[in-house]
A and B are shown apart, each in its own frame.
Chain A
């Protein structure tokens, strides 16, 4: 059953004009103008409560930095004929201004932009590009840095130094990795230096888990099954690992490794869960996959481990739509308002050390 929800921004109260006439109105008119010009209060409604939301999974970058097969994959997901001019559509959508517009529409307080180095699959969004884009609104945009691994055998030290530098930039609060897109195994210790650099910055590491639909990705379980990540989780207790997409199988649109992700989060205090993309209209038309995920997370007492993300901006309106679908799934999974507040923003603030803000 779909519940009645609203993710529209709630605006600050506007002063009411008193009775009277003439210049007496002036101060009130000025107040009215100030109120109208001030930033709206961005909250979403869940079970009668107004909640704060942070979207930790947003993509930015340039269309031309995406590989041709992935460009085609993305263009086919736009409605025809919009997809024919995918470059213009995507460029508007993944610019900082476009992302902020989507955050406003979704009433999401803050968004996190991801750097990506996956030249064989989804393309490249450099750490520098993300850092530059954060400057459009440093109060609302944060970033996750990434690391280039395609010549790791010869330049690992150089890449780790670059990651260290990127994590020193204002607003860069974590690390994004996608083993399947970047073609390196979850259990290969040669890459674990990344987790050590992340821990030195108290920067959580977000990892794509589960089979991916992007052409050219490595789909073997050693790249997609989070069970292969367990040795790294055990070896790096000071590093927080965020299991992106809950191991969802985007090739077959099935829950994939959901139970493995839940097992890891139950077993280790440094494992967090993120449910982006798997509940989209394409992957989950009836909302059953996302509802199952929310139900299982609540049943296992892991509502304090979920961090909200959408995997937007994708198409116009996606960020708001995904938030709505998540709220519906939380309701279906019988989450309380307090648990939803944690999943939508509180857990994010906690793991990224932003609670004091």
Chain B
């Protein structure tokens, strides 16, 4: 299966030339990582690495808006599905600027079990030169964790609820190569500062990415 995937990638690379103009401001990779979808453009971005995996799907809705579905996961331990909207603030041949707001759910297993609603705000900036782009995203995730406390007394049982707030800012970036108008590859770093002031320290991560997309051009 890995061999087949590698062969497919080689075929894509060989086919890249005719599928993409020398200047590639409309590449799906740039939409997926920098924002700025046209109406009807659809992108799918996959990132795999350590310690996180992620999947992002986005569709252009016009008026600079692009709804987004995102799932981030640390396999076996932590998953964060979110739904929101991206807003393109600037789109030029030399770069892009966008922001996005998402609402979702957070679930974590093990000794640090958590679950609760979360909200994400993020800004993406991208510089592009022909088929190459550099992107940077900075964001913040706020999660509410609800605790149920049950006190059993001889007079009866008393249940109360309380909430804890967790803040996890994050920073990510990488280099992307638009192999084709519809396909690109990326390598980058990401650093999520998980549960600031609760977890002692968070380690940075590394990922490779693959982007697909297209639209009614």
Interface on A for B, CB 8 Å cutoff? 68, 71-72, 74-87, 282
Contact = CB atoms under 8 A, between A and B. Distances in A.
A59 B78 CA distance: 29
Given A71-B111, A86-B111, A87-B110, A79 B198 contact: no
B202 interface: yes
Contacts of A77: 200
A84 B110 contact: yes
Contacts of B112: 72, 75-76, 83-84, 86
B202 A85 contact: no
Interface in B23-79: 51, 74, 77-78
B59 to A, nearest CB: 31
Nearest to A88: B110
B201 interface: yes
A112 B215 CA distance: 68
Contacts of B6: none
Contacts of B198: 76
Nearest to B112: A75
Contacts of A75: 110-112
Main secondary structure of the interface of A (DSSP, over half): helix
Nearest to A84: B77
B74 to A, nearest CB: 5
21 contacts: A71-B111, A72-B112, A74-B111, A75-B112, A76-B200, A78-B200, A79-B200, A79-B201, A79-B202, A80-B201, A81-B78, A81-B194, A81-B202, A83-B200, A84-B108, A84-B109, A85-B77, A85-B110, A86-B111, A86-B112, A282-B200
Contact of A86 (B74, B110, B192, B203): B110
Contacts of A78: 200
Contacts of B194: 80-81
B199 A76 contact: yes
Contacts of A76: 112, 195, 198-200
A282 B198 CA distance: 12
A71 B111 CA distance: 6
Interface residues of B, number: 18
A5 to B, nearest CB: 24
Contacts of A68: 111
A86 to B, nearest CB: 4
A86 B109 CA distance: 11
B60 to A, nearest CB: 34
B150 to A, nearest CB: 15
Contacts of B111: 68, 71-72, 74-75, 83-84, 86-87
Contacts of A72: 111-112
Interface in B111-155: 111-112
The 7 closest A-B pairs by CB, nearest first: A75-B111, A84-B77, A80-B202, A80-B194, A81-B51, A86-B111, A71-B111
Nearest to B205: A81
A190 to B, nearest CB: 27
Contacts of A79: 199-203
Nearest to B113: A72
Contacts of B202: 79-81
A86 B199 CA distance: 12
B194 to A, nearest CB: 4
A68 B51 CA distance: 25
A299 to B, nearest CB: 33
B110 A81 contact: no
A72 B112 CA distance: 6
Nearest to A282: B200
A254 to B, nearest CB: 19
A253 to B, nearest CB: 14
B108 to A, nearest CB: 7
A77 B200 CA distance: 5
B110 A80 contact: no
A250 to B, nearest CB: 14
Nearest to B52: A81
Interface centre among B110, B195, B198, B203 (most CB of A within 10 A): B110
A85 B203 CA distance: 14
Nearest to B193: A80
Interface centre among A74, A80, A85, A282 (most CB of B within 10 A): A80
